[in-house]
Amino acid sequence: MLQLILLFACLPAPATTASPATQPAENLALEQSAPTDDGRGTPYKVDKADNICGLLEPRQLTSPAKVDYQALLEATSEYQEITKNKIDPNSAKGIELLTKARTRIRDACEAIRVKGNYCSIWKVIERRDGTAVDDITDQVKKAL
């Protein structure tokens, strides 16, 4: 036991974290980086996690569209059942219903994507030049 105490006594004390005022500028820049932008070098600001269907690589995008995903989710009968019956979304039944709702949304988005000649559909996507990206939420709602 005494050997362990002596061993720990010989270890150097942990380094204290410097305040932001005393940290080097390069460390601050890393900590305060911008939100994820997987479309760097392309005309689009995107996060690949926001892709619903179609092309995933930003450099391949030619005619993407976007949807209000929360509005689509709320328009599904599965989501309405969850809210009406006050089902816990984290319960087995809630997870099952949400999975079915997401699948319906994805399938409806894919049908509209093909019909409308869109290369992909995203939850969030912006053009760097500020030009609007087509919002097809209403078309997808009708397809649900």
Q: Does domain 24-143 have CATH number 3.30.910?
A: yes
pTM here is: 0.72
Integer angstrom CA distances of residue 107 from 26, 31, 47, 125: 45, 39, 21, 20
Provide the residue ranges of all domains of the chain, joining segments of one domain with +.
24-143
Give yes or no for residue 45 having a pLDDT over 80: yes
pLDDT the model gives residue 26:
45
Average pLDDT, the chain: 83
Q: Which H helix or E strand runs over 135? A: strand 134-135
What mean pLDDT comes out for the span 33-46?
Answer: 75
Give yes or no for residue 139 having a pLDDT over 90: yes
